[in-house]
């Protein structure tokens, strides 16, 4: 690469190139992103509803159009058609009807009420990771829970960032009474055991996904706020801010157009670790029974079932391994991002 080109590269691009050279983090990044994107297509990958059913010349798309009673396909079951059995039956009869099942034909919600499902089925070729206390497939639930965990952590971290940048930024930038007031608030807030406060609130109102994020944000915004306050406070005293102000820029513009890009390094490098915190928090809350409302698939809830039934080892190993693999990849990303954005001679956590 010639010198000319190197100068023209933006700093962000340089950091991205540096990040790409850090194989462990870069591959983790690619894997996590692809898995997360893939997890949005789970309904067509892991589901008990058939993708396509061709029955007596007509085509049905149960995954997309939803419920079909068993009687629609002349199947003698109560309620919804059981497509796996239908498939086996038609196969055996060698009939003209056919259907296409998703690659892993179990839903995270179908429990013991569906014939053929057993409680605590050990891992096997049909149920890769066994079944849980109500006969639901553990692997299917694990995958759906991955999507929920990552989404939860991403939204939570972004919200925390938004509040942190707005309040923390204003605290650092304006200082004075506003700063003092919020410093008291933060001190009070941080003296409380937060998981406990969430449990108290969750025990009063049964939270949904977004309500849980909302509650968690209320109690969890201080960390980022404090970080941003320090950052804005330091940047404020620099010459470029004085220059921008003397040119008549508004406070708003100075904060978000001038200071914020300069405070970007801690914002970006902290993000993966905020995600780690979010995932762990959700697992803890679900484990205690104050997280997502049942029957939402969640690692914490599975862990709870497993720990109440110690001999069913897969109920503990499956969620812990899933969480562990996810977290360690995010930590790898975090380490690489930090290395790329804020190089030091040694590795750092947090």
Partner 1 sequence: MTTYFIRRILLMIPTFLGSTILIFVILQMAPGGPLERTIQQLQAGAMQQGEAVGSVGDIMGGGSSVLPESALRELKRFYGFDKPIYQRYLIWLGIWPREIKHREVEFKDGATSAQKNVGRGNYMTLKLEGESVGVYDDKGVNSDVWKAAIDTESSKDGVILATIFQTEYSGILTGNLGISYTYDQPVTEVMAPRFKISMFFGLTGMLLSYIVCIPLGIRKALNHGSAFDFLSSVVIFVAYSIPGFALGGVLLVLFGGGSFWDVFPLGGFRSPSEVWETLSAWGKIKDQLWHAILPIISWSIASFAGLTVLMKNSLLENISQDYIRTAFAKGLQEKRVIWVHAIRNSVIPIASGIGGVIGVVIAGSYLIEKVFNIDGFGKLGFQAILDRDYPITLGFLVIVVVIRLVANILSDIALATVDPRIRFK
Q: Which residues are near partner 1 by CB under 8 A?
A: 184, 187-193, 195-197, 199-201, 203-204, 276, 280, 283-284, 287-288, 303, 306-307, 310-313, 316-317, 319-320, 323-324, 327-328, 331-332, 344-350
Q: How far is the CB of 11 from partner 1 (least distance, A)?
A: 25
Closest CA to 110 of 83, 134, 87, 144: 134
- Alpha-carbon distance of 114 to 103, in angstroms, equals 19
Which whole-number Å values give the CA distances from 177 to 173, 180, 183, 227, 259, in the listed order?
A: 12, 5, 10, 19, 21
CB nearer partner 1, residue 1 or residue 204: 204
The least distance separating partner 1 from the CB of residue 309, rounded to whole angstroms, comes to 8
What is d(CA 96, CA 82) in angstroms, rounded to the nearest whole number? 18
Q: Which is nearer to partner 1, 119 or 316 (CB)?
A: 316
In the chain, the DSSP E strands lie at 52-55, 58-60, 98-100
Angle (CA) 72-109-327 rounded to 5° is 145
Minimum distance from residue 289 beta carbon to partner 1 (Å): 9
Q: 237 or 347, CB closer to partner 1?
A: 347
CB of 45 or CB of 316, closer to partner 1: 316
Question: Minimum CB separation from partner 1 for residue 262, in Å?
Answer: 24
Smallest distance from partner 1 to CB 155, Å? 21
Taking alpha carbons only, the member of 311, 317, 291, 296 closest to residue 119 is: 311
Q: For partner 1, which is the closer residue by CB, 63 or 329?
A: 329
Is omega for the bond preceding 128 within 30 degrees of 0, making it cis? Answer: no
Minimum CB separation from partner 1 for residue 152, in Å? 15
Closer CB to partner 1, residue 92 or residue 204? 204
Residue 103, Cα to own-chain centre: how many angstroms?
A: 23
């Amino acid at each position: 690469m010639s010198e000319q080109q190197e100068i023209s590269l933006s700093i962000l691009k340089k950091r991205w190139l540096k990040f790409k050279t850090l194989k462990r983090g870069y591959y983790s990044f690619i894997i996590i992103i692809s898995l997360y994107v893939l997890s949005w297509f789970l309904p067509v990958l892991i589901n008990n509803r058939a993708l396509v059913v061709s029955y007596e010349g007509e085509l049905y798309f149960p995954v997309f159009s939803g419920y079909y009673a068993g009687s629609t396909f002349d199947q003698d079951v109560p309620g919804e058609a059981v497509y796996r059995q239908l498939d086996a039956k038609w196969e055996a009869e060698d009939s003209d009807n056919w259907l296409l099942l998703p690659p892993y034909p179990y839903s995270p919600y179908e429990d013991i009420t569906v014939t053929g499902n057993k409680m605590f089925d050990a891992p096997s070729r049909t149920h890769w990771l066994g079944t849980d206390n109500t006969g639901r497939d553990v692997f299917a639930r694990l995958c759906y829970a991955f999507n929920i965990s990552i989404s939860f952590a991403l939204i939570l971290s972004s919200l925390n960032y938004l509040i942190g940048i707005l309040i923390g930024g204003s605290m650092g930038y304006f200082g004075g009474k506003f700063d003092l007031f919020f410093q008291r608030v933060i001190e009070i807030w941080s003296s409380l055991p937060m998981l406990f406060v969430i449990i108290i609130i969750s025990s009063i109102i049964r939270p949904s996904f977004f309500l849980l994020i909302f509650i968690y944000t209320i109690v969890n915004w201080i960390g980022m706020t404090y970080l941003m306050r320090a950052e804005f406070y330091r940047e404020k005293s620099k010459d470029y801010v004085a220059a921008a102000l003397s040119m008549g820029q508004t406070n708003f513009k100075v904060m978000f157009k001038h200071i914020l890009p300069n405070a970007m390094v801690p914002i970006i490098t902290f993000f993966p670790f905020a995600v780690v915190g979010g995932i762990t928090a959700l697992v803890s809350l679900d484990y205690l029974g104050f997280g997502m409302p049942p029957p939402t698939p969640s690692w914490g809830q599975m862990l709870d079932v497993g720990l109440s039934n110690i001999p069913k080892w897969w109920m503990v190993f499956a969620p812990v391994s899933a969480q562990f693999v996810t977290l360690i990849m995010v930590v790898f990303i975090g380490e690489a991002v930090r290395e790329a954005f804020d190089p030091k001679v040694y590795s750092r956590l947090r």
